[in-house]
Amino acid sequence: MSPTILIVGATGNTGRGVVSTLPKLLATSNAVSNHRVIALTRSLNGKVAQQLARIPGVEVVEQNWVEITADWLREHEVERAFIAPHNKPNQFAEESAFHLTALQAGVKYVVRISTAARNVRPDCATYYARSHWAIEALLSAPEFSNLQWTSLQPNAFGSFYLYGATEFIKQYRKTGKQDVLRLMAAKDAPVGIIDPDEIGVFAAHLLAQDDVSVHNKAKYILNGPEDVTGDQIVKMVEQYIGVQVERVSYKDMSPLDSYIESEYLGNDQPKNIVWSIKRALEPMWEGKSTASTTSKEVLEIAAPKRTPAQILQALLE
């Protein structure tokens, strides 16, 4: 068996970019050219899992990552790993267990997906941002010194930020009628939204580095190449529908209501904690998440290229 790079969350919005990019990079690497790629999925029958299985050099394995043991990691000779954790209230318990298991198994390097840089602090109102802060604090502890790691802090996923615009355009095309255009964006605050796939591309470049020690304990901020305001999103919508938008609601998090209720409020989860998700965009509304905040290492290694207009176009295809 060959040494392995493990991709946890392979079928998710960032994991797919890692899996599709990494095998090509390994082919030109000096240190990890003999490594294989294992992509985890909860179901081999899923559409995305089947697509990933067709990529040369990728083995798709059905395995729940929260049940991975140190013996499993040793058996599969995992040396490097990527993890895109969920952001439910039990995130810290499950992700910290994964990192502890990786430490015990002798995994050398982990790249993880965090959240918006301005939110990763102990006093953030949004619960999952505090979980990310706590994970980074745990990994920074002396007890974890044998596990090298990098945390990626993307400010705003384009698919999430443009959700309201995408649904509005689709509905208008179907009915020819306008409802309220509900945007999570503030009217005038610029935000450097990023295509999740490009976050995965950058993560793949880190995993394929000959020397990962230069990225150990690094926290890299990721944005797309251009800022976009709520007002600019409205103008993009108008270009697609061919008429002026009649009613706009900015800083509107109501499109998340049904998703939060269905995905997060089961199993007696405290509502006051779960609903704090709706405060996650406050730093963006304050203009603190612009493209200018992107870490220089991101620009040097694999600079994101997709603009807000290109992200919206892809979401509508």
Q: With beta carbons less than 8 A apart as the criterion, state whether 19 and 37 touch.
A: yes
217 lies in the same domain as 118: yes
Domain span including residue 283: 158-191+225-289+304-316
- The average confidence (pLDDT) of the chain is 95
| 131 and 267 belong to one structural domain | no
Residue 14 falls inside a structural domain: yes
Q: Per-residue pLDDT tens for 206-219?
A: 999 999 999 999 99
**CATH number assigned to the domain comprising residue 162:** 3.90.25
Domain count, the chain: 2
Residue 272: the pLDDT is: 82
Picking from 222, 238, 268, the residue at the C-terminal end of a domain is 222
Model pLDDT, residue 265: 65
pLDDT digits (tens, 9 = 90+) for 11-45: 999 999 999 999 999 998 888 989 999 999 999 99
Q: Which residues of the chain have pLDDT under 70?
A: 263-267
Instruction: Please report whether residue 61 resides in a domain.
Output: yes
**11 plus 44 within the same structural domain:** yes
Residue type, 116: A
pLDDT of residue 41: 94
Per DSSP, helices labelled H in 157-307 are 158-161, 163-175, 196-207, 230-241, 257-263, 271-274, 282-285, 296-302
- The beta strands (E) that lie in the chain are given as 4-8, 36-41, 58-62, 78-83, 109-113, 148-154, 181-182, 218-222, 248-249
For residues 310 and 167, membership in a common domain is answered with yes
| Model pLDDT, residue 64 | 95
Token duo for residue 279: 């405060």
- Where residue 218 falls (left for φ over 0; alpha for ψ -120 to 50; beta otherwise) is beta
147-179 core/surface letters (b: 16 or more CB in 10 A; e: else): bbbbbbbbbbbbbbbbbbbbebbeebeeeeeee
Instruction: Give me the pLDDT at residue 266, please.
Output: 66
